[in-house]
Amino acid sequence: QKEVEQNSGPLSVPEGAIASLNCTYSDRGSQSFFWYRQYSGKSPELIMFIYSNGDKEDGRFTAQLNKASQYVSLLIRDSQPSDSATYLCAVFSGGYNKLIFGAGTRLAVHP
Amino acid sequence: ETGVTQTPRHLVMGMTNKKSLKCEQHLGHNAMYWYKQSAKKPLELMFVYNFKEQTENNSVPSRFSPECPNSSHLFLHLHTLQPEDSALYLCASSQNPQIAGGVQAQYFGPGTRLTVL
């Protein structure tokens, strides 16, 4: 059973701080990794994806991938209250574009 | 309309009712997906369609019946549901990975909040 694990949180950070969200996955053959943000009562929206080991930056967001250790993380710099949401990690592990989702980490950014 | 749309946004039905959920994507994609999201649980993939052909059925009970008449439209027909089927049902679309080359990000519609009484 391929699994994607995330700490459910809530992760509470002060405004302006760096929020660090982590995700581990069980399938060593996993190839592609996605981060989605989901506000309460809304649907998931894509933030970014990463395929290669290392860091990928997009604005205030940085995804970090370490395939040897089987984890992927999302850093949010200069956190804002509007970043308060649940962040979903999704992993592609073969099959026809089949993504395996974690249960999500709830982030709370307080002023 | 832009992106992925879903109707209805909210649905309350009895266990003996028959209803359908509709999804339409305006992104020019050719793969579409149904997911179920229950409270505190990960998104569960239900069905995958590529170029109108079903390529994945994730052991979904037969009381859920998908239909994909073309690459832009996807339906989920519901009948004799159970209260535990109450959840948020999400539709998503993407480019077909075999055509686009590699795994493709999926884009979600707003979802249908389903309550089964």
**With an 8 Å Cβ cutoff, are B48 and A96 in contact?**
yes
Tell me how far the alpha carbon of residue B72 is from its chain's centroid: 12
Tell me how far the alpha carbon of residue B62 is from its chain's centroid: 15
Q: What is the pLDDT at residue A95? A: 67
Predicted confidence (pLDDT) per residue in B43-68, tens digit: 999 999 988 888 888 889 999 999 99
**With an 8 Å Cβ cutoff, are B40 and A43 in contact?**
no
At residue B100, does pLDDT exceed 80?
Answer: no
**With an 8 Å Cβ cutoff, are B50 and A96 in contact?**
yes
- Pick from B40, B43, B95 the residue to mutate for testing the A interface (most A CBs within 10 Å): B43
> Residue B44: which H helix or E strand, with range?
strand B44-50
B43 inside 8 A of chain A by CB: yes
Q: What is the pLDDT at residue B54? A: 82
**Between A99 and A88, residue with greater pLDDT:** A88
Residues of B in contact with A103 (CB under 8 A): 40-42
Burial class (CB in 10 A: 0-12, 13-18, 19+), A103: middle
- The neighbouring-strand residues paired with A4 are A25
Reported in sequence order, the residue ranges of A6-98 that DSSP labels E, i.e. its strands, are: 11-14, 19-25, 32-38, 45-50, 54-58, 61-66, 71-76, 85-92
Structure tokens at A49: 């994806």
B108 inside 8 A of chain A by CB: yes
Average pLDDT over every residue of B15-20: 92
